[in-house]
């Protein structure tokens, strides 16, 4: 029997992306990363290794981080996706996590930054204060080639204080505990 591979098989999917309902027809073999970047122009989703190692393609799916290079777009049907574009593009009114990364110099080239910011958003949702070691463990799935990590760790802790205590993070907690 001869089988013929249908390389243009498509599905129409509906999902929420950055708070907006999106309906789109995609090839069934399209990864979530390619769908977000190429079809929706959400180019904060960075592709590094494209096989699940570097974590730079991380997005939030229903609030939990996933590697978008390892998922198909059709698997996200019915789910809520957040990319870093869901935060703020207004320089004068940044999200507290963005403010914290800027204040602590938590980036250099910026390639890993969208993933780091989203991972921070995910882990800080529990409202807990974190030690250096805890943050290092929690961001360990995302590789940064530039910073040596310390400023990213400081940025995550700074962001946590801002989220718990307001804009300047001034609620008397120890810094970098």
Count residues binding ligand FES (CB under 6 A). 23
CA distances from 38 to 15, 98, 121, 123 (A): 16, 25, 24, 28
The three-class DSSP label of residue 4 is: coil
Question: Per CB under 6 A, which region of 22-30, 89-97, 125-133, 143-151 contacts ligand FES?
Answer: 143-151
For 51-176, where are the E strands, in sequence order?
58-61, 64-67, 80-82
Rank residues 45 and 87 by Cβ distance to ligand FES and give the closer one.
Answer: 45
C-alpha 34/C-alpha 72 separation (Å) is 9
The Cα–Cα gap between 155 and 104 comes to: 5
**Closest distance to ligand FES from the beta carbon of 146 (Å):** 3
Question: DSSP character for 19?
Answer: T
**Which lies closer to ligand FES via its Cβ, residue 72 or residue 112?**
112
Q: Scan residues 67-126 and list those touching ligand FES (CB under 6 A).
A: 67, 69, 107-113
- Within positions 29 to 58, which residues make up the interface with ligand FES, using CB under 6 A? 47-50, 52-57
Q: Between residues 77 and 145, which has the closer beta carbon with respect to ligand FES?
A: 145
The residue ranges that bind ligand FES (CB under 6 A) are 47-50, 52-57, 67, 69, 107-113, 144-147
């Amino acid at each position: 029997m001869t089988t013929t591979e249908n390389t243009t098989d498509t599905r129409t999917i509906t999902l929420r992306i950055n708070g907006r309902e999106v309906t789109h027809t995609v090839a069934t073999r399209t990864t979530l990363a390619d769908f977000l970047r190429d079809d929706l122009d959400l180019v904060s989703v960075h592709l590094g290794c494209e096989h699940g190692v570097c974590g730079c393609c991380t997005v939030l799916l229903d609030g939990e981080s996933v590697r978008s290079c390892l998922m198909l777009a059709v698997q996200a049907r019915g789910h809520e996706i957040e990319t870093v574009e869901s935060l703020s593009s207004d320089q004068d009114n940044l999200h507290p996590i963005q403010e914290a990364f800027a204040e602590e110099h938590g980036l250099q080239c910026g390639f890993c930054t969208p993933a780091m910011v989203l991972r921070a958003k995910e882990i800080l949702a529990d409202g807990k204060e974190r030690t250096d070691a805890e943050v290092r463990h929690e961001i360990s799935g995302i590789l940064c080639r530039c910073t040596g990590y310390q400023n990213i760790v400081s940025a995550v802790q700074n962001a946590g204080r801002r989220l718990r205590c307001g804009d300047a993070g001034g609620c008397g907690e120890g810094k970098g505990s």
